[in-house]
Structure 1
């Protein structure tokens, strides 16, 4: 398999972001953690053992515990450096799922699956790690995220150099994620997306936030040629020209795909077998005529 992302670089940048953490760039993770907790709170069952995969600050795990639905939650991260005081972290790369087969009741993945190289395989490993009737909940940045930045950087580079290289990662859309959940063997999959618009004074604080999230360009195929000040000044001008509001502030779109799926269990609602219907479709439709 040809990897799209430089996993080691991603891990280093996430750890550097943690070391320089101020909380100012946590708004997306906090938002996703709150939404996942809200969705968990309406599930009418308890989860004895849960795991949070690569949740960064651990806010998703904390909010999930506050719902009262979880007895114990374990966090997995790329480094022990993510551990809070007295906390034990399972060490695992972004593509790793450190879960034994059928060993946990709930898996939470807040804002990390967009950066794995083998998403289909990762989803299969998550599903296998769930006990029967176990639940998977995730928030995944999706298509449309940073679309303005992608457009602006490509335009500036094409104008100044006559060519362009990828500088914003590709994001999956809702249909892609839904199909992957089904392929991975999840029962009762649910997928929906929410779009959020964040406004900035200019391109530069947006890029500072992305670095603070540990999500500067991690593509293996990225250009290694340094970009000068002139490039970023021109990109900022194009951004302001194309995506600014009347007050001069620019817009940045973030689309988050929220997903859920269950490990199969006999108690779950099952689709009817072909030929098991009690009433013929033609007969049912007769009552709809004129």
Structure 2
């Protein structure tokens, strides 16, 4: 059995999340928006969940938002908050790449902006599907492929100009169309993927970098360049950013794409597609047209 490639340095991620814990609430606007999308999905589900698990709780904003919403909070009996870092106020510290839960022990799993930093997302989804009881639900969000495309562009070009070569500074993010296939491969039924593109205005690119640091979202690539960005590279990158990516309201723009995916574990009560040839009514009759030959 081959192991997943080591794309991210998970120990470094743990330290970055811990370092950002005290100031995260000042830059949690993307997590807040992601949580709203997750709760919108949950509010449309007409059922109650006994045991729910949150992966990547960070500042506890999902719990607070959840229990402020009476229509959604009454759907969950018990919520287990978990986080990769012990610096956050979570009930359990764990790594989502190695979930400790037995089979058929959970009814709902939610996660806001944690999955994009996993080395083996298919493996994580399989673990979650096994931990969920039949007719259990997963709702999770992660950053998508459009995220930080402006910053990626200018950093690469500036480093090429100044040093004559460039390294990976921003991680690759999954595309939305890949997520449906991942859910199906992991064994989830009725997969749904939604995208939310957020364009943020910054007075200066440096403010974007400060937000990323406060979010714990700076470079954790395993094969990241060991040589940092010097002042000449950053100054050139800021010049390119201002020239190419101005925001209509002033300053510069930064794009974040949030992908929200959901899927159900199989259960006999769920609708199943009809077998080919099992239709009882011809399409032509249903449409009220005469059947002909071209």
TM-score range relative to shorter protein: over 0.9
Which residue does the alignment assign to 1:73? 79
* 1:138-149 aligned within 5 A: 138-149=140-151
1 CA distance for matches of 2:20 and 2:227? Answer: 23
Instruction: Provide, for residues 225-268 of structure 1, a one-character-per-residue CA deviation record: whole Å limited to 9, x for no partner.
Output: 12211111111111001001355410000000111100111111
Which residue does the alignment assign to 1:56? 58
1:13 to 16, 19, 22: 16
SS state at 1:21 partner = helix
- Following TM superposition, the consecutive aligned residue runs of length 4 or more in structure 1 with deviations greater than 6 angstroms are none
2 CA distance for matches of 1:232 and 1:113? Answer: 29
Instruction: Provide, for residues 91-146 of structure 1, a one-character-per-residue CA deviation record: whole Å limited to 9, x for no partner.
Output: 21242323221101100011000000000010011111111111100111101000
SS state at 1:109 partner = strand
2 CA distance for matches of 1:62 and 1:97? Answer: 24
Which residue does the alignment assign to 1:261? 263
SS state at 1:268 partner = coil
2 CA distance for matches of 1:169 and 1:80? Answer: 24
- 1:232 and 1:288, CA in 2 relative to 1: closer, same or farther beyond 3 A? farther
Aligned-pair Cα RMSD in Å: 1.8
- 1:239 and 1:288, CA in 2 relative to 1: closer, same or farther beyond 3 A? farther
**Structure 1 regions of 5+ residues with no counterpart?**
none
Which residue does the alignment assign to 2:43? 41
Which residue does the alignment assign to 2:241? 239
Instruction: Provide, for residues 199-238 of structure 1, a one-character-per-residue CA deviation record: whole Å limited to 9, x for no partner.
Output: 1011101000001111101101110012211111111111
Normalising by structure 1, report the TM-score. Answer: 0.93
More displaced 10-residue stretch of structure 1: 63-72 or 40-49: 63-72
Residue 223 of structure 2 corresponds to residue 221 of structure 1: yes
1:26 to 25, 28, 32: 28
2 CA distance for matches of 1:261 and 1:173? Answer: 17
Which residue does the alignment assign to 1:211? 213
Normalising by structure 2, report the TM-score. Answer: 0.92
**Structure 2 regions of 5+ residues with no counterpart?**
none
How far apart are residue 79 of structure 1 and its match? Answer: 3.2
1:115 to 114, 117, 131: 117
